[in-house]
Structure 1
């Protein structure tokens, strides 16, 4: 392994993913919660898609966006966890250079899509609560398809420069990545070149996605809350608020860990490297696991359909 660490390579054939440096002896134990979260994410998101597909009454904009979120979560978790577990279980540290860039692209691309889908779901709740009489005429199937296409294209186009820029840098220092996956900055930091273009571009994307998406979601929910508090009775307010409660929970679960991880990278210079890496994995994997749980528990139609399926199978 040492021979490949400092070879003069402008385009290395492989990188070495170390997993979580400093916690190598605990890799097996660390793999247990991550494997469990992945299993829950896969089972939960496939269950959500199956329920929506098999129940015609759920064939509406809100549930179409929910299926898009489930697909995005499955891609993120599947891009991340299998390689991580192969490192933890089989000491499979090597990853092909092209595979590394592909993993980088898929993880970051679908993270952007995830955020875009949350904005679309906030728009859905805004129209449903603030302009319910025009809901079916505004959020038609073609409109939902157009929104979905826009979300996909935005994610693909914004992240496309990541692997292209990373591929052009010369890697002549080391090919060791102290991480469990090919995180963009962790990879380009290995280049023996001025990587400010990659660094500034990734910062711009983070600002555009996180900043603008959170802004649009906040504006939507300010209008939603104004509409809710203008309702005449407490029961009506609680019932209306309950219809968007699950989406609010998903927004918090999605953005708070990402914000915490981002702040820790910017200001937590004294924080141990293994804690940074653990948080980078947690903020990717925990939302993919919790999204289907939140919607399964808090959405009455999905909960009832799931109970019907479980009861039928039990009989």
Structure 2
């Protein structure tokens, strides 16, 4: 089966600044793929090139088997898009605006607009200019989903939405996947990625620093350790654990006869457990990090690598 999206060496430069560097990406049809990254990481740049809103400096992209630069209106009708900065104004009412979009995007099943509006709690009788940011975002979601496109490209789609509507949106994404649609989701809300995505790419400074199944990120080498130790002292524990260079945020506090230890392990946990086991262990918890902590760790690794590369270039 042809991938829904495939890029090869896709790059975008603005003068001397590289916004996206040699992106190689393959997104299978019928999957939900997440793009994670801080502001300026290259997420929106990537989406805009896939939609031919901006042109790449170099490299190639294929969207639904076609080159977005030549696919034209026929390709765009097969895509539903919510931009990161959705601007909707005017005296036109919500329903009239969606009817206009339906004429452009292609066939919309009878009742689809009303069903989506009801699910999201959107009043279609109000003028667009009177809507709050959250309600304008709902309007944007309806126009993206209403014609059941083969591909949904969603850039920060839950911006301004309340938690209940966010939950409904995530249900809509899962339903789209079950219907065989492909979803490319860019988000700062990491829980959205955790709950919906099959795979994810982490962008940092225009480069992919990690890619794979969401679970593979959560199984990164970062762990949080909490322990209670007896028959020892605060100083002895702090000295012993302080020798382990892959511990951070180490906190050792004596509470009565028990020394409480909390730390974040970035690397091999075996040495930490063995060091703790030298004492009488009252309790021990090793917690899997959430996706956010894993991703932040990856950003740190990427930044360190970039600094080292730059320093080596300077020395050369």
Would you call these one fold, judging by a TM-score over 0.5? Answer: no
More helix by share: 1
**TM-score of the two chains, using structure 2 as the length reference:** 0.24
Higher CA-based Rg: 2
Q: Which has the higher contact order (CA 8 A, sep 6+)?
A: 1
